[in-house]
Amino acid sequence: MKIAVAQLNFHVGNFESNTKKIIKCIAEAKTQQVDLIVFSELAICGYPPRDFLEFDDFVEKCMASIHEVAKVSEGISVIVGGPSKNDTGKGKSLFNSAFVITNQKIEKVIHKTLLPTYDVFDEYRYFEPNRSFDVVRVAGKKVGVAICEDLWNVGDNPLYTKTPAIELKNKGAELIVNISASPFSYNQDFERKKVLGENTNKTGLPIVYCNNVGAQTELIFDGGSFFMNADGTVASQEEFFKEGILVSDFDGSSFEKESVKTGSKIELIHDAIVLGIQDYFKKLNFQKAIVGLSGGIDSAVTFALAARALGSENVFGVLMPSQFSSEHSIADAKKLAENIRAPFEVIPIEDIYHAYEGKLHPMFKDLPFGLAEENLQARTRGVLLMAISNKFGHIVLNTSNKSEAAVGYGTLYGDMCGGLSVLGDVYKTEVFDLARFINKYAEVIPENTIIKPPSAELRPDQKDSDSLPDYMVLDKVLFEYIENRRGPRELVKMGVDENLVKRVLKMVNVNEYKRYQTPPILRVSPKAFGMGRRLPIVAKYLA
């Protein structure tokens, strides 16, 4: 039995393009005498469709596309994800389903049992869970179909009471097919192989794992689909971050052994972000990005990643020095643009700053230079970037990192502006790792940008360390608080100074209002700011 896993990059709501892709893959699979071709979760509409699912018109378009796919499936079996209507009159109005099609006929519609409703997932908002199990016969084999999270309980996940793999095994399944839309984070491939290995361990059944690839705004899907044998070893694996069809012969008990992919944490993050930028532009039909270059490391890494994603000719750097910008900042930023061979422009902001100052003077009188004046510079830069963006149709890329976003070290509508945040889920210490990774074979990011002490340069001789703890310390506390959700007492118990804990947690909590208005952030960690972390603004907790 020949099985193909189609790892494709879908576009939410773009039925025409999604259906065309699926149909093209089916045709190709037929030329390779494939018996069964598998597409990812909610492939037909793209994942996540979010509240579009509340529109009947949207759901009807999904069904129409499924029927188009069915039409071309003579002589082959197809498993494809899409929403289906819950006609029982009980519960949510939809199921998250796998359509099993053979010879132009929808043989079975199998629904997702375990509906993740945590972090970035809202599935219980839309879907009713499946409660009964059955297998489906494909090319003479009994196949158990599971949808993504369905395999994330092997009896030990307290969130769930059902264990789909075991239910399917009990129904006589000889093989499990899992269709997924499992978003990337730097440890996700490891986690997936671990939990699917536990499934094979419990059931003795091999698994066909088909994942989505491509980015939808903040969520990046890394692909890495694979065939897993009953002993928990991965027989073969599709590339990460790329579309492709992976084909394997299943001899009834195991898959052919081929190569398996891996990547270092920083390499995976790098590739994920590059794809995240690419898809944001491609799916919104934009070509060019504009980045404000300060000579600092965040804007440099953002610019370099954008150049890799879009091509050097499609990124445009703007240096906007003020009276507080140091000579080396301008030199470093220029050097970066030259290294990348990207166009850049210098727009000094001093005159505009003075124009503001003049108009505000009647109100500000002789009040000392302070935060208002610092932010004014950052916002003047934001306005310039947005003006160029509006004039030429470029998208501004935001350059804030996760450490800054966490503690509110940034100016709303200033350096926090942009269509997409490239590094908003990358801690400052990891930004340095990314810079080194980018420079692996040649200097892209000027060495001086990497070694000099970070500074916002919004007043004379300013350093980040004037107002923030050392990033090595800060990032550790932030990671424990944000990713691991440790409270103040636990952090102190871990050896962090009590006053530092108080200070950092307060900074994080009182700056929720800033993060609320931040651009969408490419998610690369298990806990990113944005839809995966939902906190109140007016709260008074650790604040």
Of the candidate spans 68-76, 253-261, 493-501, 515-523, the one that interacts with a second copy by CB under 8 A turns out to be: 515-523
- Note whether 348 binds a second copy by CB under 8 A: yes
Least Cβ distance, residue 399 to a second copy (angstroms): 15
Q: What is d(CA 406, CA 420) in angstroms, rounded to the nearest whole number?
A: 17
Cβ(295)–Cβ(330) below 8 Å: yes
Of residues 158 through 177, those in contact with a second copy by CB under 8 A are: 158-161
Amino acid at 6: A
Stretch that binds a second copy, among 134-142, 171-179, 185-193, 387-395 (CB under 8 A): 387-395
Pick one of 49, 81, 144, 292: the residue that binds a second copy (CB under 8 A): 49
- Catalytic residue of the set 41, 123, 238, 374: 41
CA distance 276 to 270: 10
The distance of closest approach from Cβ of residue 75 to a second copy in the complex, given in angstroms and rounded to an integer, is 31
494 binds a second copy (CB under 8 A): no
Q: Using alpha carbons, list the distances in angstroms from residue 499 to 374, 469, 488, 504.
A: 27, 12, 10, 9
Of 252, 284, 338, 436, the one binding a second copy by CB under 8 A? 284
Residue of 172, 372, 467, 498 interacting with a second copy (CB under 8 A):
372
Residue of 25, 45, 62, 148 marked catalytic: 148
Span interacting with a second copy, options 46-54, 241-249, 252-260, 465-473, rule CB under 8 A: 46-54
User: Using an 8 Å Cβ cutoff, are 10 and 212 in contact?
Assistant: yes
CA neighbours within 13 Å on the CB side: how many for 86? 19
Residue 526 near a second copy by CB under 8 A: no
Which residue of 256, 371, 467, 498 would you call a contact of a second copy, by CB under 8 A?
371
Task: Among 82, 183, 382, 408, indicate the residue that binds a second copy (CB under 8 A).
Answer: 382
Q: How far is the CB of 462 from a second copy (least distance, A)?
A: 16
- Distance in Å from the first CA to the final CA of the chain: 60
d(CA 388, CA 289): 10
Our finding on whether 376 is near a second copy (CB under 8 A) is: yes
- The stretch near a second copy (CB under 8 A) out of 72-80, 229-237, 364-372, 447-455 is 364-372
Those residues with Cβ within 8 angstroms of residue 56's Cβ, 6 or more apart along the chain or in another chain: none
Tokens of 239: 């590339």
440 tagged catalytic: no
Nearer to a second copy, 428 or 514 (CB): 514
Q: Can you tell me the distance from the alpha carbon of 368 to that of 332, in angstroms, rounded to the nearest whole number?
A: 31
Residues 286-305, interacting with a second copy (CB under 8 A): none
Instruction: Supply the minimum distance, in Å, between the C-beta of residue 506 and a second copy.
Output: 12
Tokens of 343: 């166009």
Provide the sign of the torsion angle of the four alpha carbons 171, 175, 180, 186, taken in this order: positive
- Residues of span 217-246 touching a second copy by CB under 8 A: 217
**Contacts with a second copy in 83-142 (CB under 8 A)?**
89-93, 117-118, 122, 124-125
Stretch that binds a second copy, among 13-21, 97-105, 181-189, 454-462 (CB under 8 A): 13-21
* List 48, 82, 144, 317, residue binding a second copy (CB under 8 A): 48
Q: Is the Cβ of residue 27 or residue 543 nearer to a second copy in the bound state?
A: 543
Q: Which amino acid is at 75?
A: G
Residue with tokens 């979010």: 50
| Candidate residues 251, 341, 358, 499; the one interacting with a second copy per rule CB under 8 A | 358
List 112, 169, 283, 308, residue binding a second copy (CB under 8 A): 283
CB 121 within 8 A of CB 154: no
Those residues whose C-beta lies under 8 Å from the C-beta of residue 120, and which sit 6 or more positions away, are 183, 218, 219, 523, 528, 530, 531, 532
Of 101-109, 183-191, 300-308, 526-534, which part binds a second copy (CB under 8 A)? 526-534
Measured in degrees and rounded to the nearest 5, phi and psi for residue 111 equal: -105, 150
Please state the separation of Cα 247 from the chain's center in Å: 27
Catalytic residue among 112, 335, 476, 514: 112
Distances (CA, A) of 391 to 10, 385, 394, 396: 30, 10, 8, 12
Q: Assess 535 for contact with a second copy (CB under 8 A).
A: yes
> How many chain residues interact with a second copy (CB under 8 A)?
96
- Tell me the closest approach of the beta carbon of residue 425 to a second copy, in angstroms: 16
Q: What is the dihedral of CA 236, 239, 240, 245, to 10 degrees?
A: -90
Identify whether 148 is a catalytic site residue. yes
Q: Which of 116, 118, 114 is nearest to 199 (CA)?
A: 114
112 is catalytic: yes
CB 242 within 8 A of CB 213: yes
Task: Please choose, out of 27-35, 64-72, 131-139, 154-162, the segment that lies near a second copy by the rule CB under 8 A.
Answer: 154-162
Please report, as residue ranges, which positions from 394 to 433 form the binding site for a second copy (by CB under 8 A). Answer: 412-413, 417, 419
Rounded Cα–Cα distance for residues 133 and 502 (Å): 50
**3-class state of residue 251 by DSSP:** coil
- Pick the binder of a second copy from 390, 448, 465, 467 (CB under 8 A): 390
Whose Cβ is closer to a second copy: residue 14's or residue 439's? Answer: 14
Secondary-structure percent of the chain, ordered helix, strand, coil, rounded to 5: 40, 20, 40
Q: Which of residues 471-490 bind a second copy (CB under 8 A)?
A: 485, 487-490
CB 236 within 8 Å of CB 258 = yes
List residues with catalytic annotation.
Answer: 41, 112, 148
